[in-house]
Amino acid sequence: MNSYSFPFNRMRRTRAKKFIRNLVKETNLTVNDLIYPIFIVDGTDKKEPIPEMPGLFRYSLDILKKEIKNIVDLDIPAIAIFPYISNSLKNMSGSEALNKNNIICRAIKLIKDTNSELGIICDVALDPYTEHGHDGIIINDYIDNDETVKILCEQALIQAEAGCDIVAPSDMMDGRVKKIRQALENNNYVNTLIMSYTAKYSSSFYGPFRHAIGSINNFRNKEKSTYQMDYSNSKEAVLEAELDVSEGADMMIVKPGLPYLDIISKLNQKFDVPIFAYQVSGEYSMIMTAINNGLLNKSVIIETLTSFKRAGCSGILTYFAPIASKILNEDK
Ligand code: PBG
C-alpha cells in the first residue's frame, strides 16, 4: 500500500508561500545558462531589422562592437554568430566559408578585441555561403558527405585560428565530428571545444533563420531531409549521440527545442556530456509575435527556458537571451 495519503500529505503545503516554493525549486534558470545567437552583415552603420524575427537585427561589425558591450553587461556567457552573405559572394561550393578574412573571422577577432572573456561559438556548415542554400556541396544531385566533411574541417580550422572558442558543426554530415577533432588536434587547437549539433531535425521551424541569413531564396530544393533527422525518430538520436561522443564532441545540441524535449530527456539519461537546446528561430518568432499581440505574457519566455533545464539541458541557445537576462536580473 502506498504510504502517501491525504491529509498527511498535502501537496499544496510546499506551494503555499514564496519562500518555500523557492526552497523546493528543482530547477533554477540563470543567465549563465544562456547563449545568444546573433546575426552579422557586411558594411558599416547597419542595424537591419529582421521582419521574420521581430525585435532582432543584423549588425554590421562596427555596431556589433557596441552590442557586445550590452551583452557583456547582461552577463551572458557566450554568443553564436551567424553571417548574412551577399549573393555575389555565394557559389556552388561555398568557398567564402574558407576565406580567412570572411565576415565571421573578422567578427571573431573584433569580439575578442572588445571582450576576450565572452565565449564565441561558430556554426560549421556551408549554407550561408552556398548558392543553393544547402549545408554541403552537391555532387551528382546529392549533398556529398565525405567531400563536404573535408571542407568543414578547413572551415573549423580557420574559425579556430581566428580565435573562436567553440566550433559547432550544424551540417549533420556523418563522421564530421571525428574529422574536425583530428584536424584541430593536428593543428594544435587542442582546447577548441566542439559543440555538435547531434540531433538536428529537418524542421520547418528554421524558416525565419533562413530569412535572417538570406538563404531562403537560394534553395533549389527546400528539403534538407537527406541529411537532417526525420522528426518521427527518437532512437536515431541516441545513435547520433553515441557517434558524436565517441568522435570527440565535448557537448551536444538538440534542435529545435520545445517540440523535442523528449529527445533532450532521453539523451540526458544516457550520456554524461553537457546537452544544449537550440530554441530556434520559428519558436522565437511564434512566442514573440504572441507577446507583441498581447496574446501571451512575456513570462512564457522564462517558462520555456526553464523547461529545457528541467528536461536536462546545461544551457540553451536562444534569441531571447538578452530579454531573459533582463527578466532574471529584475527578479533577483
Ligand atoms: C544551418 C543552421 C540552421 C540553423 C542553425 N544553423 C538552419 C538550417 O539548418 O537550415 C537554424 C537556427 C534557427 O532556426 O534559429 N546549418
Give the tens place of pLDDT for each residue, 18-44.
999 999 999 999 999 999 999 999 999
Local confidence band at 1 (pLDDT 50, 70, 90 cut-offs):
low
| Lowest mean pLDDT segment, chosen from 73-82, 121-130, 212-221, 248-257 | 212-221
Amino acid at 119: G
In the predicted model, is pLDDT for residue 79 greater than 70?
A: yes
Three-state secondary-structure class, residue 321: helix
In the predicted model, is pLDDT for residue 216 greater than 90?
A: no
Average pLDDT on 134-153 reads 96
Average pLDDT on 264-273 reads 98
Q: What is the pLDDT of residue 222?
A: 61
Give the tens place of pLDDT for each residue, 111-130.
999 988 999 999 999 999 99
Based on the residue annotation, tell me whether 266 is a catalytic residue of this protein.
no
Distance in Å, CA 18 to ligand 1 centroid: 39
Q: What is the pLDDT of residue 181?
A: 98
Half-sphere exposure of 71 (CA within 13 A, CB side): 27
Q: What is the pLDDT of residue 215?
A: 84
d(CA 167, CA 155): 9
Task: Return the exposure string of 68-89: e unless at least 16 CB atoms fall within 10 Å of the residue's CB, then b.
Answer: beebbebebbbbbbbbbbeeeb
Cα-based torsion angle of the residue sequence 11, 14, 17, 23 in order, rounded to the nearest 10 degrees:
-160
Residue of 90, 179, 224, 255 marked catalytic:
255
- Cα angle value 122/127/201 (rounded, 5°): 85
- Give 43's DSSP letter: S
Amino acid at 252: M
Whose Cα sits closest to atom 5 in ligand 1? Answer: 170
Half-sphere exposure of 195 (CA within 13 A, CB side): 26
Task: Return the exposure string of 109-134: e unless at least 16 CB atoms fall within 10 Å of the residue's CB, then b.
Answer: ebbbeeeeebebbbbbbbbbbbbbbb
Mutate-to-test residue for ligand 1 from 129, 203, 209, highest number of ligand atoms within 8 A of CB: 209
- Give 27's DSSP letter: -
Give the tens place of pLDDT for each residue, 3-12.
899 999 999 9
d(CA 288, CA 290): 5
Give the tens place of pLDDT for each residue, 164-209.
999 999 999 999 999 999 999 999 999 999 999 999 999 999 999 9
In DSSP terms, 41 is beta-bridged to 84
Three-state secondary-structure class, residue 178: helix
Q: What is the pLDDT of residue 18?
A: 97
Copy the grid coordinates of residue 205.
521551424
Residue of 200, 224, 266, 309 marked catalytic:
200
In the predicted model, is pLDDT for residue 219 greater than 70?
A: no
Amino acid at 325: S
Q: What is the pLDDT of residue 246?
A: 98
Determine whether the shortest distance from the Cβ of 201 to ligand 1 is under 6 A: no
Q: What is the pLDDT of residue 220?
A: 55
In the predicted model, is pLDDT for residue 152 greater than 70?
A: yes
Q: What is the pLDDT of residue 214?
A: 87
